[in-house]
Homo-oligomer: A and B are copies of this chain.
Amino acid sequence: MEEGKYCYKYPHPAVTTDCVVFGFDGKRLNILLIERGGEPFKGCWAFPGGFMNIDETAEQGAMRELCEETGLKLEYLKQFGTFTAVNRDPRERVITIAFYALARKSDVQGGDDAAKAQWFPLEEVPPLAFDHDYILRKATEQLKKDIHFEPIGFGLLDEQFTMPELQRLYESILGVHFDRRNFYKKMLQTGILEEAETTDESDSDYYGEHQEMRRMSIDALFGGASQASEQACCEEPRRRKGTKFSFNKERYERLKEDKSFRLEF
């Protein structure tokens, strides 16, 4: 066994956390990865994460590591599995408690702590370190399941969003296509959306400026990873007028209590 000052009667595995962070660029789901600076798997891409401290919960550890490695401070982490294959880490016995998280564009605008953090479209994720390929598959499966029943999609959009944006999000998560009109109806009749009162400062000028800001933040977020988004096929989706909606959390909480309420998509 290794040397060290923490000794136990029986062998203890090391415990890490890993965080699968989903982002949305308006068109595709993206994943936040960091390039490993040390062995093992030096130079490989992996999820943000690391060893859990002895005096913190797994959630706290995951958030701490996420912040340290990417600068992201997220409020919502969902634990979706613990991975315990005996040889998943060549160093010693390590089990990892895995979470997924949903990042808004606006969550990232700020810091640039993460020199080595980078977004990858889900379909273009490179081979990952450890068993992270497997973990990623499990994370996306779980997200697909959860999106049907929990209003988590909004965690990937700005505070205010348009229906087409929301629809594109659902479509990229689930890999299907919805009829626009049916999507509107279904979303509206859930009762958890409200039309955002526009701040209503004149019009074209306001929208123009707003538009510009969004474009910048998209670039900040996804610019580094968009090797493929410059392909001929995909011009960046622009919206025209766009009625804005926002997620009404209070109404959702009330609905959830009331009855066996299902979001169902």
A contact set with B: CB distance below 8 Å: 1-15, 51-52, 54-59, 79, 81-82, 84-86, 93, 95, 97, 145, 149
Contact B13 A4 (CB under 8 A): no
10 A-B pairs in the complex with CB atoms less than 8 angstroms apart: A1-B6, A4-B7, A5-B9, A6-B8, A6-B12, A8-B8, A8-B14, A12-B12, A57-B86, A82-B97
The complex places the Cα of A52 from the Cα of B51 at a distance, in Å, of 19
Cβ of A54: which chain B residues have Cβ within 8 Å of it? Answer: 10-13, 93
Q: How far is the CA of A2 from the CA of B6 in the complex (A)?
A: 8
Q: Which B residues are CB-close (under 8 A) to A84? A: 52, 57-59, 97
Return A155 CB to nearest CB of chain B, in Å: 20
- Contact call B15/A10, Cβ cutoff below 8 A: no
CB distance from A36 to the nearest CB of B (A): 19
CB distance from A109 to the nearest CB of B (A): 31
Q: What is the predominant secondary structure among interface residues of chain A facing chain B? A: loop
Distance, CA A248 to CA B134, complexed state (A):
29
Across-interface contacts of A8 in B (CB, < 8 A): 1-2, 4, 6-8, 12, 14
The 5 closest A-B pairs by CB, nearest first: A12-B12, A4-B9, A11-B54, A58-B84, A7-B7
Most buried by B among A8, A51, A59: A8
CA distance A199 to B52 in the complex (A): 57
Which partner residue on chain B sits nearest A2 by CB separation? B8
* Nearest CB on B from A80, distance (A): 9
- Note all chain B residues with C-beta closer than 8 A to A2: 7-9
Contacts of A55 in B (CB 8 A): 86, 93
Q: Are B13 and A3 in contact (CB under 8 A)?
A: no
* Cβ-neighbour of A6 out of B10, B15, B51, B95 (below 8 A): B10
A11 touches B6 (CB 8 A): yes
> Is there an interface contact between A95 and B15, defined as CB atoms closer than 8 Å?
yes
A70 to B35, CA, bound (A): 46
Chain B residues whose C-beta falls within 8 Å of the C-beta of A57 in the assembled complex: 84-86
- Choose from B10, B12, B79, B86 the contact partner of A82 (Cβ within 8 Å): B79
| B1 adjacent to A7 (CB under 8 Å) | yes
9 more A-B residue pairs beyond the given contacts A8-B14, A54-B93, A55-B86, with a C-beta to C-beta distance below 8 A: A1-B5, A1-B7, A3-B7, A6-B7, A10-B14, A57-B84, A59-B84, A82-B97, A145-B149
